């Protein structure tokens, strides 16, 4: 017997894969959520975000000046932007995963069809 396929997202998914997705455990634990929230509200992350935004407000020629005249400050800016980028990529992964989990769990169409 061939496995049926469905479309979840943009890829074709087999029944076995759908079953695995439907039975997926929590992605993070509640305790981890608290730790992530604590990290997200830390002063260090806020400083990285402000440095990133500050870099965006400067003309490239000013950044070149900082690089030449204040290499230590420039190195700190590079580190802060890299840290913020890493954090933002993690947030994107969380948001994408949450969105996919919501799409998998969406029963509104099933409920609407059953009500007809």
- In this predicted structure, the answer to whether residue 105 has a pLDDT above a threshold of 50 is yes
In a domain, 25, yes or no: no
How many independent structural domains does the chain possess?
1
Residue entry with tokens 């509640």: 30
In a domain, 38, yes or no: yes
For 1-10, 33-42, 57-66, 97-106, which range has the lowest pLDDT when averaged over its residues?
1-10
Cα 7 to Cα 18, 25, 60, 95, 112: the distances in Å are 10, 21, 46, 20, 19
Distance CA 89, CA 83 (A): 10
Q: Which phi and psi (to 5°) does residue 74 adopt? A: -60, -45
In a domain, 5, yes or no: no
In a domain, 6, yes or no: no
Distance CA 26, CA 52 (A): 32
pLDDT category at 39 given cuts 50, 70, 90 is: confident
Range of the domain at 97: 32-115
Note the pLDDT tens digit of each residue in 44-57. Answer: 888 999 999 999 99
């Amino acid at each position: 017997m061939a496995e049926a396929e469905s479309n979840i997202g943009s890829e074709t998914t087999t029944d076995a894969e759908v079953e695995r997705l439907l039975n997926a455990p929590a992605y993070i634990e509640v305790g981890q959520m608290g730790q992530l929230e604590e990290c997200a509200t830390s002063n260090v992350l806020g400083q990285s975000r402000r440095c990133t935004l500050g870099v965006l407000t400067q003309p490239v020629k000013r950044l070149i000046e900082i690089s030449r005249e204040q290499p230590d400050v420039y190195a700190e800016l590079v580190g802060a932007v890299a840290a913020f980028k890493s954090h933002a990529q993690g947030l994107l992964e969380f948001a994408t995963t949450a969105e996919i989990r919501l799409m998998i769990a969406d029963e509104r169409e099933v409920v609407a069809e059953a009500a007809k």
